[in-house]
Amino acid sequence: MHHKWFCASCVGVIALASLGYRFDSLTTIILILAAVCLIGVPHGGLDHLTGRKLLVDQWGSYWVLPFFGLYLTISLVTVFGWLVSPLMTAIVFFVLSAGHFGQQDTAVGSSASSFQILFNVASGGLVIWIPAIARPMEMQRILDGIIPESMSMSGGSIVFWTQILAIFLLPIAFLDALIPMWSHFFRAKNAVERLVRQGILIGLFALTPIPVSFAIYFCGWHSIRGLRDLMQEHNMKLGALLWASLPMSVGGIALIGLGMWFWFSDRELSVELTRTLFIGLSAMAVPHLALHSITSHWVYRSEKSPMPLERAV
């Protein structure tokens, strides 16, 4: 049911874009920020519970020290990276995010396969690779707003290298969408639904502004499914999950608010939104991506060894 509602919503947004609707209104911006704060950020709000499961056996009640110390360090390094080496930071962030998005549609046990990782990066990164090809000038403007003015490089350099990646990865994503049609690992109905969804997403990413298409995909598809998985994983109802995720969610919302306040003094609102989304979300996302890569490794090992599954998440 979620698949159908999500696809219908995407088609509606594509239709609005085709009719010339302008998505830069204050209402649209408020809706994007509300969705990111209320849906996008909370889906990573239980990372501390995951960290506790991984570390409590070795560290006992002191597990919070290595977990939050490393988690916050990775966040700060990410922010610092945008300011010092934006090209490398952007490419690493794009590839990590693409792999994480793609992994959501993949069985955990197969995540250790090199070919599967490549397919995950290719298909999960459509939200990045398609805009790089179809909306390069918009992507460059966004990145130019992130890169410090004192640096000689521009967002065009990041777009160029992202396009190189896109040219290599898009055929692989196309192959990944077709393989399930004849693979016995997928039922035919699921394969067709996935193919249709990928086609609709390509249209969304190509025809609508990048902040809009990213927010729809990140909140409406990835984060909602992430929240659902967390409810099952931790045996929680939605209210309990949102309450448990409150500390990290408040921190994320505060980061977004701080970014908006800090940059809003002398720049247009659209620049504030994109700068905050890219730097703020990447600072929260990179440690989240690293953590879930580690847990996937533990789960994969648990399938090949006697280690109890409860040791992994």
Question: What are 32-62's pLDDT values in tens digits?
Answer: 777 777 777 777 777 777 788 788 888 888 8
Confidence of residue 217 (pLDDT cuts 50, 70, 90): very high
pLDDT of residue 128: 95
The whole-model pTM stands at 0.79
Per the model's pLDDT, the better-predicted residue between 85 and 234 turns out to be 85
Least reliable range by pLDDT among 26-30, 203-207, 242-246, 257-261: 257-261
Q: What is the pLDDT of residues 139-194, one digit of tens each?
A: 998 888 777 766 777 788 999 999 999 999 999 998 887 776 665 555 556 677 78
Report d(CA 43, CA 40) in Å as an integer.
6
pLDDT of residue 56: 82
Residue 225 has pLDDT above 60, yes or no: yes
Residue 89 has pLDDT above 80, yes or no: yes
Spatial neighbors of 163 by CB under 8 A, at least 6 apart, are 132, 133, 136
pLDDT of residue 133: 96
pLDDT of residue 158: 92
Residue 87 has pLDDT above 50, yes or no: yes
Residue 264 has pLDDT above 60, yes or no: no
Residue 22 has pLDDT above 60, yes or no: yes
Per the model's pLDDT, the better-predicted residue between 237 and 294 turns out to be 237
pLDDT of residue 304: 45
pLDDT of residue 196: 87
